[in-house]
């Protein structure tokens, strides 16, 4: 790995550079402008982004759980009036709701979206 060169830019300067860089990463554009033809191709990073890793964990957790099928069975039982109102059922429903809320929170964080 190489060494880092850091420069300070004000907001206007950075905006100008980002506009000029277009779709290219700002660092690649700056390197090209500073070194011209003396730049060498860089190998693409093989490390997944943090959000990709988080999404993979969420999908793995969902895939290894019985949550979707259990919720479907509970919904069907409630729809036809066959859902018993026992303490166990209520505890399981609360646990399922908490698991769904955690997945929702993790998905919002991984996708970098604002919750409604």
| pLDDT single digits (tens) 30-72 | 888 888 877 777 666 666 566 788 888 888 887 888 877 888 8
pLDDT band at 14 (very low <50, low <70, confident <90, very high): very high
| Average pLDDT of the residues in 89-94 | 86
Q: What is the pLDDT of residue 49?
A: 61
Cβ neighbours, 10 Å, residue 110 = 18
Tell me which DSSP letter residue 114 carries: -
pLDDT of residue 90 exceeding 90, the answer is: no
pLDDT of residue 115 exceeding 80, the answer is: no
Measure the CA angle with vertex 96, ends 93 and 99; round to 5°: 155
């Amino acid at each position: 790995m190489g060494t880092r060169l850091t420069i300070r830019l004000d907001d206007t300067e950075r905006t100008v550079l980002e506009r000029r860089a277009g779709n290219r990463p700002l660092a690649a554009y700056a390197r090209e402008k500073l070194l011209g033809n003396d730049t060498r191709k860089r190998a693409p990073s093989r490390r997944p982004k943090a959000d990709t890793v988080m999404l993979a964990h969420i999908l793995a957790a969902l895939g290894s759980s019985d949550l979707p099928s259990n919720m479907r069975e509970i919904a069907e039982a409630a729809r036809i009036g066959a859902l018993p109102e026992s303490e166990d059922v209520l505890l399981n429903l609360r646990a399922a709701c908490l698991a769904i809320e955690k997945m929702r929170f993790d998905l919002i964080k991984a996708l970098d979206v604002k919750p409604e």
